[in-house]
Amino acid sequence: MMHAPYPGQTLRLTKVSSAIGTILLVTDQEALVSLDYEGYEHRMMRLLTKRYGPFELVETSPNQHDCSTLETDVINRIEAYLNGDLAAIDPIPANPGGTAFQAQVWHALRSIPAGSVMSYGALARKLGNAAAVRAVGTTNSLNPISIVLPCHRVIGANGNLTGYAGGLERKRWLLNHEGVNLAALKQPSNNPGQQLSLLDI
């Protein structure tokens, strides 16, 4: 008996073990559309449902060699990043969806170099709308593709880490992994010419 094709979008889920827990990768045929963490499946599914409506999620396994070329490349790049090659994630095709404003904010996150952080206010100014700090913060919290669209690199103007959908411990780990001196962010520099990693000018 032949089954009718699924009428909605079909997405593929694969999992990567890491020092910060199991990472959940969701792809369509062309790009990474979600990166979240085990334990946050409800958030991931809520955001995907809001974007796609009804969809089918097919789980694949690198160990069973049933991953697509795209999935394999994303997995390899995420693992390389976690092993210290911070630039490995830069070429990953990412499609977060969202409104035009949300997409603008999410893609702008990729302009923040690894090893640096930026305040919400600085990000709003970078986007040409200094008054949109609150909207930028809200949008950042709804980022569906953690790590690759590096919302963890956005912090409070006073150097506080503020929120992170995957938990502040993960945000702290990612920033430490990228070489950010978190203690220095809260301390004014005695050398006006010293370049700090806080991009809040």
Residue 102 in tokens? 């949300």
Residue entry with tokens 């409070």: 156
67 belongs to the catalytic site: no
Angle of CA points 49, 70, 142, to nearest 5°: 35
The one catalytic residue among 117, 151, 155, 199: 151
**Cβ–Cβ under 8 Å, residues 196 and 184:** yes
Residue 21 in tokens? 């827990």
**Closest CA relative to residue 23, chosen from 166, 151, 163, 164:** 166
Residues in the chain: 201
Residue 90 in tokens? 């830069």
**Cβ–Cβ under 8 Å, residues 166 and 37:** yes
Q: Cα separation of 41 and 9, whole Å? A: 18
Give the burial class of 9: count Cβ atoms within 10 A of its Cβ; 0-12 exposed, 13-18 middle, 19 or more buried. Answer: middle
Active site residues: 151
